[in-house]
Amino acid sequence: MRVYEFVAQEKANHPVSRLCRVLGVSLSGYWAWRTRGPSIRAQADAHLSARIGELHQASRGTYGAPRLQAALAAEGLRCGRKRVARLMRHAGLAGCHRRRPFPTPHTTQRDPQAELAPDLVQRQFTACAPNTLWIADITYVPTRLEGFLYLAVVLDVFSRRVMGWAMANHLRSELVVSALEMAVCNRQPGDSVIHHSDHGCQYTSLLVGERCRAVGIQCSMGSVGDC
């Protein structure tokens, strides 16, 4: 009984008789509880709580009551989920809940009025030398505080190395241009390199086309739906 447990904890500070009188329990009942010891149910809870703590630690603090109940059942220790949850609360344990996923953003929005570059690659993503074929795309990265950030990447097909990248919280053409500028700065390519992308409005923009022409890069775009 929890009242008797409280009396046992506070008996060093107050007389047992006074504690029993204030709490409305009998003195004889307290001493009977002391001699009786923990009940069978309390002993079973103590044993079960210790095993729950071991399983929770083995899961690196990720298991909640449902998975701990299943793990106990696999060991032949059958108990209700509410009992496992109660013992977890008393032990200060909690499972790790999966965060609600962000709604998936769309990184590629095609501009039907834009003029498309020819497909110079034809799905042949191989290169015999560096700075021959670059491929570019945009993806998104979920963050805890900022929502989604967008990542534009330029990759050399020959080495599979990322030469340029840029990250921002927007999908304007400047994001793609920043990644392209980094690639040009890192590689200083000649006029033989092909920059291949999808039909996203960022890549079909005038800003990207003008920058590619200024440094001698040939623009290429695949068929619809092919990144």
138/55 same-domain check: no
pLDDT for 41 equals 82
What's the helix, strand, coil split of the chain in %, to 5? Answer: 40, 15, 45
Q: Is it the case that residue 225 has pLDDT exceeding 70?
A: no
pLDDT in tens, 201-224: 888 888 898 999 998 999 999 876
109/86 same-domain check: no
Helix residue spans in the chain (DSSP H): 2-10, 16-23, 27-36, 40-58, 65-74, 81-91, 173-187, 206-214
76/126 same-domain check: no
Answer whether 165's CB lies under 8 Å from 152's CB. yes
pLDDT in tens, 60-97: 888 999 999 999 999 988 888 999 999 999 888 888 86
pLDDT for 99 equals 61
The residue range of the domain holding 69 is: 2-91
163/188 same-domain check: yes
Please name the residues in contact with 162: beta carbons below 8 A apart, sequence gap of 6 or more: 153, 154, 155
165/225 same-domain check: yes
pLDDT in tens, 102-117: 566 766 677 778 888 8
Number of domains into which the chain is organized: 2
**CA 224 and chain centroid, separation:** 31
79/118 same-domain check: no
Which residue, 91, 123, 143, sits at the end of a domain? Answer: 91
Confidence band for 166, pLDDT divided at 50, 70 and 90: very high
What tokens does 151 get?
């990542």
Rounded Cα distance, 154 and 124, in Å: 17
Task: For residue 149, give the 3-state DSSP assignment.
Answer: strand
Confidence band for 100, pLDDT divided at 50, 70 and 90: low
Rounded Cα distance, 80 and 108, in Å: 49
pLDDT in tens, 114-142: 888 899 998 889 999 999 999 999 998 88
118/182 same-domain check: yes
What tokens does 106 get?
């769309």
119/20 same-domain check: no
66/112 same-domain check: no
56/107 same-domain check: no
Which residue, 36, 64, 91, sits at the end of a domain? Answer: 91
Answer whether 167's CB lies under 8 Å from 147's CB. no
- Give pTM, 2 decimals: 0.54
Which residue, 52, 69, 91, sits at the end of a domain? Answer: 91
Report how many helices (DSSP H) and strands (DSSP E) the chain contains, helices first.
8, 5
87/157 same-domain check: no
147/224 same-domain check: yes
